[in-house]
Amino acid sequence: IVGPGTGLGVGSLVWQGARPTAVPGEGGHLRLTPHSAEEVAYFEALIALWPEVQMGDALAVEAEAILSGTGIPNWYRAIAAARGEAAHLEGAAAIFAAAKAGEDTSACRAVALMTRYLGGVAGDLGLVLGARGGVFITGGVAQQNPWMLDEAFLAAFNAGGRHSKWRAALPLGLCNDPDFGLMGARNCLFVQHDRPLPD
C-alpha cells in the first residue's frame, strides 16, 4: 500500500505461513530524479528551496518531497520559480483545486508530474515486492483527489521496460477508507492473539 498524505507512507502485507504479517517501511524516502531535461530545473529549484530533501550530491530528492501534501507546496513553488511564474497558491488543497480546474499552469505541471512519479513509484514497489495480491493507493491526498489517478498515472505504473506486462497484470486499486490504518492495527492485534478477524 502506498499512501500519499501528510507524508508518503508505504507498507506491505505478506503471508507468513497461514498468518498475514504487516511489513512497515520508509518508502517515502525513496530517491526521485528528473525524468526529462525540463525537469532538471525543477529539481534544482526544489533543492535550493528545501536543501534537506536532497539525497547525496546528486540531482535527487526523497520521494516525500514531491509525493505528499507537505511536499507539493514546495514542489509547486520550485516549478513556478523555474518557469519564471508567480506562485500565488498556498497549501496543498489550493494547488490541487487549481490543477483540477486548469487555473494555474505551475499547479497543473506540479500535480501532473506528481501523478506520474507516484505511478512510477507504486509500480516499482509492486515489482520489488511481487505484489500479485494488489497495489493499493490510499492517504489523504489520493482520497481527496482521485481524479489525479488517471491514464498518465496508470501508464507510469505499467512502465517497467521488460517487466511492463508483469506490472500491468498487478491488481491496482484506490482505498477510500479513512480509517485504513486503524483497521490494520486492529487486525494485527487480533492476529497476534490468534483470534478470528471481525467482519
| Average confidence score pLDDT of the chain | 91
Name the nearest CA neighbour of 41 among 90, 75, 69. 75
The pLDDT value given to residue 190:
65
pLDDT tens by residue, 18-56: 777 788 778 889 999 999 999 999 999 999 999 999 999
Domain that holds residue 130: 2-192
Q: Is residue 198 part of a domain?
A: no
pTM above 0.85, yes or no: yes
Q: Is residue 199 part of a domain?
A: no
Distance of alpha carbon 177 from alpha carbon 137, whole angstroms = 11
**Residue burial 36-58, b: 16+ Cβ < 10 Å; e: rest:** eeebeebbebbbeebeebbbeee
Q: Is residue 126 part of a domain?
A: yes
What CATH number is given to the structural domain containing 95? 3.40.367.20
The domain tally of the chain equals 1
The pLDDT value given to residue 14:
84
The residues of the chain scoring below 70 in pLDDT are 180-199
Q: Is residue 80 part of a domain?
A: yes
Q: Is residue 100 part of a domain?
A: yes
Q: Is residue 197 part of a domain?
A: no
